[in-house]
Chain A
Amino acid sequence: MSTQQSTDVLDRLAGIAAGSSLDALRHERPETRRNVQASYEALFDAKDETGVSPAERFAVASFVALLHGDGTSAQHYLQHLEQAEGDRLSTLVREQAKRAAARGPYGTYPPGPLSREDTDGPVLAIGIADRAKLGERLTTALEHAHRLVFHPRDAKAPDFAALQAAGWSTAAIVTLSQIVAFLSFQIRAAHGLRVLGA
């Protein structure tokens, strides 16, 4: 492993060099810095205990980063995905992300005064041929990730049926949701810090 590059993933994604003013800012909040890194490690470095394989974790993370159009983050996770699984899956994930591009947040509110703010947008439904290539587990995970990335307010209890039918346990769904949600944080923190440091 390179000793030149920071081992802090958010630093790497935000392009923060040791000794820079952003580096100093992040060290003003050491608890945040430490626990954001520990969150990354809990999801992507630790031994799997909830039944979500490293390939699944990196595939979902790559998809989320690609949906955000964040090249730096996408590159990071795609590289890990390729190391874990080769190129086949990363190619499929890239294709799906290209097809699934949208602008969020959109979605529907419970009927009432907020209904006037309801905004339409695509719901990802991966076609039969691609489902076969990705497998049902990863297909349902990407569909879930797409909803959480772009239109989280549309999530409904029956959404879990597809995940459960594809073999996702409650613990695995929690991990999957944390991966999408954590990426939603990490991408924004990296983007914001990049802009602040520019």
Chain B
Amino acid sequence: MTQDDQHSDAPAAEPRKPVFDGPPLSLEEELAAARAEPEAGPTIETINDSLADGVNRCPKCGSTDVQLRASTGMLVCLFCRHQWQEERVEEEFGLGVGIDELEGTVIASGAQEIAEGADDIVTLTCGGCGAEVVVDTAHAMNARCHWCRHTLNVNQRTPNGAVPDAVLPFKLTRDEAVEKIREFAGKRRLFAHPRFRKEFVPENVLGVYLPYLVVDARAEASYTGRGEVQTRRWTEKSGDNSVTYYAADVYQVDRSVSFTVDDLTMEGAADRAQFDSSTTNNIVNTILPFDTKNAVRWNSSYLVGFTSEKRDLDVADLSPKLEDQLLSIGRSQVHGSLDRFDRGVRWEGEKVDVGGSRWVSMYLPVWIYSYYQENTKMLHYIAVNARTGETMGSVPVSQWRLILAALTVGTFLEGIAGAILVGTA
């Protein structure tokens, strides 16, 4: 007789036994349970079945000669000129809806842990600068590094990163990007390093897809601190000077806010995720946001003519950063409720509960003009958001010109100050 039979024979009045009251597990079973992988959360299946054989074919004539036409954002078959695009992931996978009901961590198939891929998309390590560049070898056996323009070759391949779920196609053409870069640098001529001015060739811009994780999340953030309200203000004479004094009430202040974020975009490459003023890592971050709602399902034909970079950060790596960003967003949300504290508020403690999050891995299009400054060993670049045209960059400065200008202004002001002193003495 099995246990099930016994159970069904039991009188109906007997309450169902709680799970913990079952027969004790053996030590072996306990250990096996402890070692078992944690149960995986739900997954959004974003794998593109039509690419199952690894070949991207024109749906009309079956040709594999397919590439992106940036002016339309569509794929075009170079054989029969048929144009089409993959479905937008937003509708296809129901992203953007139900954020206020998200539970736990939902990870799209392409945002899962980075595994070795065995297809035509390979990652090459640049011999020039060490960057890891992803190349579609079905279409190009060599490519240039988008950071230093060094020519890459397949011998330097490393295990591949994950294939993304979605890609946002290039929209801005190369010529438009060149124009943006020329304009950006053109406004920064006077104090630019002479060598940069001589070697500046905006036509050397390269189109690159950079890896991001795009997150929808539901969270509640709470803050606690002190706020002060001025109750009185007066001045007292002490000798020749008058001094202003204040009186104030001190409050214990607590605030909390529940909110959802739609398409928070986070850097997926560790190289660029660390911002500090000794690098130029913040530049690409600054050209966010992208119109990620228009991203389409991943198809490597979108990559033809562009390079891309490997994602090397996982959901687990980025979760602490997500919490930080949610805390910042919450703080900006409660800011408007602090008006009565006219002497300011000092937050001393904060907390965030992430009710649920949904992660999609996405390639976003950027035009990059890069310049390696020899004397300071620093990589400068000008990046153009290939959807919105927003442009940001770092131009190497000529230190001595800058110091000279600063001294000139300083001397001028000092002259005026001196004249005033002499005149009023």
Physical interaction between A and B = no
Interface residues of A (CB under 8 A from B): none
Interface residues of B (CB under 8 A from A): none
